[in-house]
Each structure stands twice: as structure tokens, then as C-alpha cells.
Amino acid sequence: MRTFVVALLTLSAAAISAPAQNQDDASGSSRVRTVRSTAGAIRVQHLATLDNPYGMAFLPDGGLLVTEKPGRLRIYRNGRLGEPLGGVPRVDYKGQRGLLDVEVDPNFARNRYVYIYYSEAAESQPAGARDQGDPRFLNFVDTTDVLLTGGAVARARLDGNALADVTVIWRQVPKTIGRGHEGGRLTFGADGKLYINSGERMRFDPAQDSTGNLGKIVRINPDGSVPSDNPFANRHGWHTDIYTLGHRNPMGAAVDPSTRKLWIHEMGPAGGDEINLITAGSNYGWPVVSNGDNYDGSHIPDHITQQKFQQPAHAWIPSISPSGMTFYTGSLFRAWRGSALLGGLSSMALLRATIRNDKVVDVEKMEMGKRIRDVIQGRDGSVLLLTDGDNAELLRLTPAPSR
């Protein structure tokens, strides 16, 4: 769970810090290696093997909810990865689509609610659908994928080994044919509202379109209703759930517990990945401005050329392909306290961003040798990572013992 409300009420040390016997390692011996950082040597321990995982969130008892994009939701608890939970809605899984993030309600102890973000196919599919692609994406668009899909968020009650009372509380509007850029992250803010990262589905117009919620950070109440103080709640022609606009593919979000402010990051085009401080009603510029250019080399004006758009707190050139985000508050890595930790896909790294006065003043890159899909902190101060792919890992980071 990446929320301010429950960031410090998550992992029990007994549940994760000393895994007993790995489910996929009957001998009980764990695979361990060491990587280097400015905080010293880091011990990287394999905990479990997963199939295309995307997101994770802690339950109050220390169990770790983990999603797998093909449509499975599991719990890692007491050193073992459980069987898939029942009750997960039907998921459209292809490419970047599937079962994406999971989040736990701040009042879980009372209501047992969890939230999942997943891709769903439209009940009615258009006849003869075609996707012409876009030259700005070169060959990164699969034009044979013509299924009409969109992201959805469901709330459900965790009842033993299943989800019960599953209710869809939000959907991407409009659904689109094929492609990716789902975004798909869920975060509870310090205000108790649910924030949703909604990607622009690899299309250039929706991020600036006020009538839909693609390419937006969305803010809703936990029951799916729209807060009356949303910035566009009473503006004609605006989708009322919009909190900010002008986003491309936002794949990480976290609340800084020291300031109670929400931060997100998003993938840029060829260069220009961004980390942004989210402020109500702001426009972050995509696709009008970006610090990167299109894949075909066509130029996009930089943010600085149009001051009406919110400037990124930091931009990466070349790209790091960020995914997953948390703020570190633990004591095991004292040098990291207050920093934002980000996973890196193409960069195959864990990144640590030092933030002062709402600006990123330094970034440390720790080579992991694997694509990092998500990152979360345990109550004992360890850091857990999900790697990417069909033979992915749940990893635990702790300081390496001194010799």
C-alpha cells in the first residue's frame, strides 16, 4: 500500500523479514545476491516466482496482495505465495492490458475493502474494427489488436480466499480499440480519496479532452462517487472525476507522508519520462509539450516553451521507463529516509529520488539487472520489488551484513 493513511501500518516483520520456506524452493534455501548503492551493499533475496506481476499492497496482518496481469490476485504470507483468490472479475489480458494494481482501503479493519484496477472488454464489440496505427509510434502499435477495451476499478470485500460483493466503481471513458498505456495505479490520498492513474491509451488527443478521463489523474470517493470539491465538478463540458490532465502513461503514484502531497511519474515518448507533484486542476501538457520527442523523431516542444503547463519536478533523458513508486520512511536504509523509490523497466534499476522544496535535487540509480515493475516498503524497513515478465520475482532488499 502506497498510501499516507496506512503507510506505517503494513508489514509485520514475522511475515516477510524471515521467510520460512519459499513455495517454489522446496529445500527452503533462498537465492541471494548483492548490489551496490550509496547506502552500502544491499542484500537482494528471492521470495517467490510470479507470472507477469504488476502491483502489490499490504494487508494490516502483514499479508502482501500481489496482482498478476493474466487475472490472478494472490497473497504472500509467512514465506509462502498463496493460490489465486476467487471472485476476480473477468480480465482482458494482452500486452500492457490485464489485472494491474491493487489497493487496500484505509478502513480495511472495519470494512475489509480492497480495490483492483483491470482491463475489460466492451460487452458490444464494433463490427469490422480497424486500427490504422500512428507513424509517431513507429512499429510499437499492434494494429491486429482491434478489441474494444478500457480500464475499470472494482471494489470488493476480502472474504477468506475470495473477493465478495465485487462492484465496479469507475471506468475509463471512452473505451478504445487495442493498444496500451493503461496507467493503472491506485492510491489513497491523505484526504481519504481514491486517486486513479488513467493512461491515454497510446493516443494523442484524449489527454487534453475534457469530456473523457483518459490521460488524467482521477479523484473519486471510495464508493465511486465524485467529490463535490473536485476542480471540474461543476464545470460544463468536463468529466467530473478529473483531478489533473495532460498525462501520458502514469505508472507510479505515492503520497509523501512528510508533506501529505501526491506525486506521480509517467512515461514520456523517446526521452522525457517525468516525475510530477500533483496539484488540483493542473495541466501537465501532454501531448502539446514534452521534454522528449516522438519515436519517429518528430519534435515536441519542451515544457519551458509554454508556461501555462505544469513543469515536471524532474525529467529523464534518456528514458528510464518508471513503474511503481513509494516514499521510504524506514530505518534499515537511513540514507534513503524521505526519498522516493521508483522501479525502472528499460533501465533495469531501482531509482532513488531526493526531493527538496517540491523539486528533485538528486537521483541515484541502483542497477538491478532486471526490469522492476513495482516497489513497496515493509514495516521492518525492508524494500520489496516486483520484477517484470512471465518468470518474474518478488524480491526483498535489506542492508548486506558487514564483513
Inside any domain, residue 305: yes
Total domain count for the chain? 1
Query: Which residue type is seen at 375?
Result: V
Return the SS3 of 254. Answer: strand
| Cell numbers placing 173 | 471513458
Mean pLDDT, the chain cut into blocks of 10 residues (403 residues total): 42 40 37 90 97 98 97 97 98 98 98 98 96 94 97 98 98 97 98 98 97 98 98 97 98 98 98 98 98 97 97 96 98 97 98 96 97 96 98 97 79
Query: Which residue type is seen at 321?
Result: S
**Radius of gyration, alpha carbons of the chain:** 20
Instruction: Note the pLDDT of residue 6.
Output: 38
Return the SS3 of 335. Answer: helix
Inside any domain, residue 8: no
Return the SS3 of 101. Answer: strand
Inside any domain, residue 281: yes
d(CA 269, CA 230): 29
The two beta strands, 322-327 and 340-344, are antiparallel
Inside any domain, residue 203: yes
181 catalytically annotated: yes
Instruction: Note the pLDDT of residue 16.
Output: 52
Give the domain CATH number at 26.
Answer: 2.120.10.30
Inside any domain, residue 94: yes
Listed in sequence order, the residues at least 6 apart from 331 whose beta carbon sits closer than 8 Å to its beta carbon are 337, 381
What would you measure as the largest C-alpha separation in the chain, in angstroms?
66
d(CA 158, CA 296): 46
d(CA 74, CA 64): 8
HEC per residue, 186-252? EEECCCCCEEEEECCCCCCCHHHCCCCCCCEEEEECCCCCCCCCCCCCCCCCCCCCEEEECCCEEEE
| Cell numbers placing 49 | 516466482
Query: Which residue type is seen at 295?
Result: Y
Q: Among all chains, which residue has been given the C-alpha cell 517454489?
A: 24
Give which of 319, 325, 374, 382 is closest to 347, Cα–Cα: 319
Instruction: Note the pLDDT of residue 39.
Output: 82
Return the SS3 of 119. Answer: strand
Return the SS3 of 133. Answer: coil
| Cell numbers placing 148 | 474494444
Asked if 199 contacts 247 with a C-beta cutoff of 8 angstroms, the reply is yes
φ/ψ of residue 346, rounded to 5: -65, -30
Instruction: Note the pLDDT of residue 165.
Output: 98
Domain extent for 313? 13-399
Inside any domain, residue 192: yes
* DSSP tag of 109: H
Asked if 78 contacts 156 with a C-beta cutoff of 8 angstroms, the reply is no
Q: Among all chains, which residue has been given the C-alpha cell 547506502?
A: 39
DSSP β-bridge partners for residue 116: 102, 154
Instruction: Note the pLDDT of residue 31.
Output: 87
| Cell numbers placing 312 | 515536471
d(CA 271, CA 319): 5
Q: Among all chains, which residue has been given the C-alpha cell 461543476?
A: 234
- In the set 181, 239, 265, 303, the catalytic residue is 181
d(CA 140, CA 127): 24
